[in-house]
Amino acid sequence: MNAAIIAVGSELLGSSRLDTNSLSITLLLERYGIPLDQKAVVADSAEKIARELRSLLELHDLIVMTGGLGPTDDDVTKEAVAAALGLQLVDDADILANIEQKFTSRGLRMPAPNRRQASVFSGQQTLANPRGTAPGFHLAVSAGASVRHVWIFPGVPFELEGFLEADFEPWLKGNSSQSVYRRVIKLTGLSESAAEEKLGPFYRRHEGEPVTILSSHGEIQIHIQAVGTADEAYPELVTREQELREIFGDAAYGLDDDTLEAVVGRLLVSSGSTISTAESCTGGLLASRLTDVSGSSSYFLGGAIAYSRQAKLFLIGIDPAVLDHEGEVSEPVAIQMAQGVRRRFSTTYGVGITGIAGPTGGTASKPVGTVHVAVADQKEVRHKRYLFAGSRELIKHYSTQMALNMVRLMLIRQR
Amino acid sequence: MNAAIIAVGSELLGSSRLDTNSLSITLLLERYGIPLDQKAVVADSAEKIARELRSLLELHDLIVMTGGLGPTDDDVTKEAVAAALGLQLVDDADILANIEQKFTSRGLRMPAPNRRQASVFSGQQTLANPRGTAPGFHLAVSAGASVRHVWIFPGVPFELEGFLEADFEPWLKGNSSQSVYRRVIKLTGLSESAAEEKLGPFYRRHEGEPVTILSSHGEIQIHIQAVGTADEAYPELVTREQELREIFGDAAYGLDDDTLEAVVGRLLVSSGSTISTAESCTGGLLASRLTDVSGSSSYFLGGAIAYSRQAKLFLIGIDPAVLDHEGEVSEPVAIQMAQGVRRRFSTTYGVGITGIAGPTGGTASKPVGTVHVAVADQKEVRHKRYLFAGSRELIKHYSTQMALNMVRLMLIRQR
C-alpha cells in the first residue's frame, strides 16, 4: 500500500499559509508503515480536484483528501470526487436533520447553504462528524482486481483530528501488518557530498532499504528505518546505527532529537566541566545556543560579546599590540579571546570566535566568511580557521556550529 | 497566465518538514498578479515527477520546480523533466570547471558525485548559481500555438532566493500586465485580540478588501493590498497605511521586511547613539539579534552574558548586597545590569535582562516566565516586569522582543 494526500482550498495557496493538516495524516501513515510519496494542494476548482484525484489514483492505493466540504459555493470537493469516480451524490435526511438540530440547539436557524453539507456518496460509507457539521467519507473504488481507498475529511484541524482518531487510525491498524521504527543519526563537521561518498559501502550492503540524507545549517542527518514487529526491527536498527557510527566516527554527534548544544551540555555535565564564551562576529549566538538547553546554568557561567576593539581590550584583556599587529580577525586574537574568557570566568573551557559575518567588511586577504575559532582548556588551546559561504545569519550559525563541535571533540577525546 | 509549483524531495513528505520554499515563490507570483492554483510535493521518483509535470502542464502556463538537483543518486529532477518533455541532457564543460573551482578554492577535492550537477538541458536556458554548485534552468515548451514555461531551481533556500531575485522576478516583471501591490504593517507590544478589536472601524470602512492578520513570536503583521498600475495602487496603499498608523500609533514599528532589530538599529544610527547589553536568562540572544543587522558594529559595542552570580558581580559590577537581598531575578538587579553595562561600555543605552526561562527554576512568587527588563540612558532608567508563557526558547525570544521594543520607544520619544 502507498498513499497520497490532497489538500483542497485556495486559501492554502497564498503566501501566508501552508497545509499543515497533512502532517498529522503523515504521522499516522508513518506509524503504520505506509509510504507517502505525493502531496497536492489544489484550489477550489472541481475540474482541477477531479484531475488530480484521477491522476493520483493511477499510482496510489490510498488517497486522503482534506478540505472543500464547507457550506459555501466554493466548496466543491464532493462534486469533484463524484465526477472523477462516477459516483452519485444524494441527500441524506438523517444528516440534514442532524445539521438543523446543531443550529436550533444554539437558538439559530440553519443557513440555507448548509443544506449542501447533507449530500453523501450513494452506496459508500459516510462518517459522522461529532465536532462539526460536514460528514466525512470513506470510498472504496475498484481498480481492476484491487480496491483503492479514498478518505475525505473536513479541513478544520479540530474536526480532522476527530476523524483521524475515530475512523482513520483504526482502519490503518486493521489494514497494515507492520509498524515502522525510525532512527536519525546526526553528523557535523563534514560536507553532504563527503558523507555521501563515505556511505557508498553502506548503501551497497543495504540496497533497497530506505536511507535519507538531509543536510542543513552545518549538520547532516541520516534517517534509517526498519519495518516489522519491535522484536524484529529494533535489533536491525541498532546494528545499522553501529555501522554508521563506525563509518563516521566522531562526526556522529547524536541521535533523533539531540541537538549539538544539548550533546555538548551532557558532556560538560558528565565530566564536571564548565564553559565560558568570548564572541565577536557571532554576537552572542554561541552563548544563546548553549543556554537554549534547560539546565545549562550548571555549566555555562557566562560570556563576553566583544564587538568593538575597546571591548576586546577591557572585557577580555586582549593584548593591544597583538590586536594592532595581527588585526581583530586573526588566529592570535581568537586564541587570546578563548584563554582570556576562560581565565576571567575561571571555567574549564573558554571559546573565542572572531570573524567577518558580512555582507560588508571583507578584504582580499580576509574575505567575508573568514572566521577563527579557538577553544582553550588548562593544558592547551586549539584553533581553526574557516571560510564559510552564505548570508550573514548563516555565517553566524556555521561559526557557532563549528565552535560547539570543537568543544565536543575536545571533551570526547579527553574522556 | 496561471501557475503551479512542484517541490521535489522525499524529505518533504515526512512528518517533520513542510515545503516552505513555495512561499517565497508564491509571494512573487502574487506580486505580479499571477494566480497559483496548484502545488505538488513529489518524492524523489523520476516516474512520479514526470507524471506530475505532464499533468500540470495541461492546465498551467507556468510551472516552478524546486529541489532534486543535488549531487546524489536520489536527485532525479533533471532526468524526470528531460523524460517528460523529450529533452536531452548534456554535460556542460564550463559548469563542471566552475564546480571544481568552488571546491579547489576552499582547498577541497571535488567529490565524484558532484559531476552530475554539470548536466544541462540541450537547447534550453541554463541559469548560473553564484551561491552554490547546482545550476537552475528556464525551459520554454511549445504547447500548440502557445509557449509554456518551466523554471527549475535548487531546493536550498539561500540558493533559491538568489535565482528568484536574479532570474525569476525580472522575467515575471516583463511578462505580466498588472501588479498587486502589498504592504505589511508590523506591530509589537500588543495582543492579537487587542489588535483585532482596534481594527473594527478599519474593517467596516474597507469592506470586501483583503486584510490579513498574522500573529507570531510577539509580533503582529497586518497585510493589505491594492491591484492595478503603480499609479493607481500606490496612493491607495499609502492612505490605508496611514489609517493603520493612526489606529496603532507607536505599536506600529515598521513595514514589509523590517525587523525590530533593524528598526532599532536605524534609530540608533540616526540619533548617533550606541548600545550595550547585559543578559542573564536570554543568554546572548538579545545581542545576537542586534548583530543580525549588517552594520550593527557602528552602534552595538558589546555585551556581557552574566549567567552565574559571580559573573553578575565581576562582569557588570552588581552590588552583592542587592543580589542577596532582592534575588537575581528582580527589578533592582535588572536596573543595575542596564546601568552597569552602559557604564562599562560607555554607550548611550544599556539594556539589562534577568528572568526565569524555565522549564525549571520557578517559584510561587517568581514563576517560570518572570522576566525583568531595564533600559538605561544618561538621564533615566525604565523597567518592566513581564510574565511570559511558552517554551524556554519562546520565553527567551519574547524577552528580547520586549527589550528591543523598550529601546525603540525610548529612542522615538526622545526625538
Angstrom distance (rounded) from CA A171 to CA A159: 18
| Structural domain boundaries in chain A | 3-175, 179-255, 268-413
A60 contact residues in B (CB cutoff 8 A): none
B300 contact residues in A (CB cutoff 8 A): 283, 307
Domain A268-413 sits in CATH 3.90.950.20: yes
Each of the 415 residues of chain B gets a pLDDT tens digit; together they read: 899 999 999 989 988 778 889 999 999 998 888 989 899 999 999 999 999 999 999 989 999 999 999 988 889 999 999 999 999 999 999 999 988 888 888 888 888 888 889 999 999 999 999 998 899 999 999 887 889 999 999 999 999 999 999 999 999 988 887 778 889 999 999 887 788 889 888 988 888 777 878 777 889 999 898 888 778 888 999 999 999 999 999 999 999 989 999 999 999 999 999 999 999 999 999 999 999 999 999 999 999 999 998 889 888 999 999 999 999 999 999 999 999 999 999 999 999 999 999 999 999 999 999 999 999 999 999 999 999 988 899 999 999 999 999 999 999 987 6
Of A306, A398, A411, A151, nearest in space to B287 by CA: A306
Which of B8, B32, B41, B261 has the most A C-beta neighbours within 10 Å, making it the best mutation to test the interface with A? Answer: B41
pTM of the predicted protein model: 0.76
Q: 3.30.465.10, 3.40.630.30, 3.90.950.20, 2.60.120.260: which CATH number matches B260-413?
A: 3.90.950.20
* Chain-chain contact of A283 with B295 (C-beta, under 8 angstroms): no
Q: 3.30.70.2860, 3.40.50.410, 1.10.10.10, 3.40.50.10420: which CATH number matches B179-255?
A: 3.30.70.2860
* Chain-chain contact of A304 with B300 (C-beta, under 8 angstroms): no
- Bridge partners of B139, per DSSP, are B150
Q: What is the CATH number of domain B3-175?
A: 3.40.980.10
Torsion of CA B401, B402, B408, B411, to 10 degrees: -150
DSSP class of A110: P
A307 contact residues in B (CB cutoff 8 A): 291, 296-297, 300-303
* Chain-chain contact of B288 with A285 (C-beta, under 8 angstroms): yes
Apex B24 CA angle, A219 and A29, nearest 5: 60
CA distance B412 to chain A (A): 25
* Chain-chain contact of B345 with A311 (C-beta, under 8 angstroms): yes
Cell of A299: 555549566
* Chain-chain contact of A38 with B48 (C-beta, under 8 angstroms): yes
Quickly tell me which residue has 495582543 as its cell.
Answer: B191
On the 0-12 / 13-18 / 19+ scale of CB atoms within 10 A, A189 is buried
* Chain-chain contact of B11 with A296 (C-beta, under 8 angstroms): no
CA distance A193 to chain B (A): 6
Asked whether the beta carbons of A37 and B42 are under 8 A apart, the reply is: yes
Of A307, A299, A248, A289, nearest in space to A402 by CA: A289
- Bridge partners of A184, per DSSP, are A223
* Chain-chain contact of B45 with A37 (C-beta, under 8 angstroms): yes
Give backbone dihedrals phi and psi of A125, rounded to 5 degrees, phi first.
-85, 125
Ranges assigned E (strand) in B160-260: 179-188, 211-216, 219-228, 252-255
CA distance B179 to chain A (A): 16
**Chains A, B: CB pairs < 8 Å:** 242
Asked whether the beta carbons of B162 and B76 are under 8 A apart, the reply is: no
Instruction: Determine the residue of chain A that is closest to B291 in CA distance.
Output: A283
Residues with Cβ < 8 Å from A380, sequence gap 6 or more? none
DSSP class of A109: P
Tell me, what's the ipTM?
Answer: 0.75
* Chain-chain contact of B308 with A302 (C-beta, under 8 angstroms): yes
C-alpha A16, offset from chain centre: 19
For residue B135, how many other CB atoms are within 10 A of its CB? 24
Of A328, A414, A323, A322, nearest in space to A375 by CA: A414
Ranges assigned E (strand) in B84-135: 89-91, 119-121, 125-127
Cell of B340: 552597569
Of B85, B2, B89, B19, nearest in space to B49 by CA: B85
DSSP class of B113: G
In this complex, the residue of B26, B279, B296 whose CB is nearest that of residue A14 is B26
B214 contact residues in A (CB cutoff 8 A): 16
Angstrom distance (rounded) from CA A241 to CA B357: 35
* Chain-chain contact of B48 with A26 (C-beta, under 8 angstroms): no
Cell of A390: 552564505
- Bridge partners of B228, per DSSP, are B179
